[in-house]
Amino acid sequence: MSGLVLRNAMPEDVSLVACFVRALADYEKLAHLAIGTDEQFAALLFGTPPRAHALIAEWDGAPIGFALWYFAVSTFAARTKLYVEDVFVTPEARNRGIGRAIFADLARRAIAAGSVSMEWSVLDWNAPSIAFYRSIGATPQEGWTTQRLTGAALEALAV
């Protein structure tokens, strides 16, 4: 694909990663939840040990997207799975195959790490993303819903 470069994020990309996260949150109508600071992203991606990984997508040298992922565990398979936390491509760069290239890159990373699968979540109203995921062969996990413990409930349970 002419013009596209996918590269690992570097420490100097922390502000860019944070900016893409905020853009994704805005697209998902969740901007009020995008509270991560540059310092927190630096610790997440480049701390000791790093807890997540990111790549930057560039088109002709200009940043146009990113992905952030981490490795989780599939206990039933006794192997890792690559969990894709976020993928975002700027609106003006969409429909060029960039999302497919990002997911293909992540699939190669999952296989290289010996992972059994790749997983991610999608908002149920996000029809364009769901259609894209179906086009690359992803299927919903029937019978499973994501559960989340956060805020006061998380703190209350921890007492």
User: ω before 49 within 30° of 0 (cis)?
Assistant: yes
Give CB contacts under 8 A, 24+ apart, made by 140-147.
Answer: 146/121
Q: How far is CA 127 from CA 28, 65, 69, 122, in A?
A: 12, 20, 22, 9
Backbone angles phi, psi at 121, to 5 degrees: -110, 155
- Using CA atoms in the order 88, 94, 99, 101, what is the torsion angle rounded to 10 degrees? -130
Residue with tokens 């908002």: 123
Please give the Cα distance from 93 to 102 (Å, whole number).
Answer: 13
Question: Residue 56 pairs with which residues in a beta bridge?
Answer: 7, 66
Structure tokens at 135: 């086009």
Active site residues: 133
